[in-house]
Amino acid sequence: MEIKKIVVVGSESSGKSTISEALAKALNTVWVPEYAREYLTELGRPYTEEDHLIMARKQLQSEDELAARANKYLVCDTDLYVIKVWGEDKYGRCHPWILEQIAKRKYDMYLLTDIDIPWEDDPLREHNLPEERRHFFNIYHDLVLNTGLPWALLSGSQEERLNTALKAIAAQFGK
């Protein structure tokens, strides 16, 4: 059976990890956590541009390993587009290998998390101002539109977001 890869993207502190985990549970499958969070928590120093490449490679490695355990769907908490957006914002560019992998990797659907939930402070987060959150939301909105893949906007409470995601997945792939 072919695994359908569903990617959750969005601004910082918009509930990506929370919905990814809940969605995987509802779909009786596994999810791929955002590797950058684990990496940066253990780094012990400010990150550099080179760290983006390490995080990208490990994100894909995790995705590939967990795909083998997936049940019909694989829920990905971010993909390399997130690292691309992050690198372009921070350094004005993205590593060519990351761009190459974005072109090669195939996904089946995107779920975009809205910024309608309160910001939760976290030492790893950098863009807490409302205009920054809107700026990055707009980037991810344009991104999902330009992929040409099916996508859905997840807004509201956790329950509303989960229901929207499940309905969008059912509409796209059947039950």
The number of distinct structural domains making up the chain is: 1
Q: Which residues contact 55 (CB under 8 A, 6 or more apart)?
A: 35, 36, 39, 40, 83
In Å, what is the CA distance from 88 to each residue of 15, 52, 92, 98?
22, 11, 4, 12
Report the Cα–Cα distance between both ends of the chain, in Å, rounded. Answer: 14
| pLDDT in the model for residue 128 | 63
Q: Which residues contact 4 (CB under 8 A, 6 or more apart)?
A: 72, 73, 74, 108, 109, 169, 173
Comparing CA positions, the residue from 105, 29, 17 lying closest to residue 67 is 29
Cross-strand pairs, 6? 75, 109
Contact between 111 and 27 under an 8 Å Cβ cutoff? The reply is no
| pTM, entire model | 0.92
| pLDDT in the model for residue 86 | 85
At 26, which CATH number?
3.40.50.300
- CA geometry: angle at 91 spanning 57 and 122, to 5°? 75
- Tell me the residue range of the domain where 35 lies: 4-173
Q: Which residues contact 147 (CB under 8 A, 6 or more apart)?
A: 107, 110
Cross-strand pairs, 110? 7, 151
Edge to edge, what strands does the sheet with 30-32 contain? 30-32, 73-77, 4-10, 109-113, 151-154
| pLDDT in the model for residue 112 | 97
d(CA 94, CA 116): 29
| pLDDT in the model for residue 126 | 57
**pLDDT tens string 113-131:** 999 986 565 555 455 666 8
Report the Cα 58 to chain-centroid distance in Å: 14
Over the chain (175 residues), what is each successive 10-residue block's mean pLDDT? 93 88 98 88 84 93 96 96 90 94 96 84 57 90 96 97 98 87
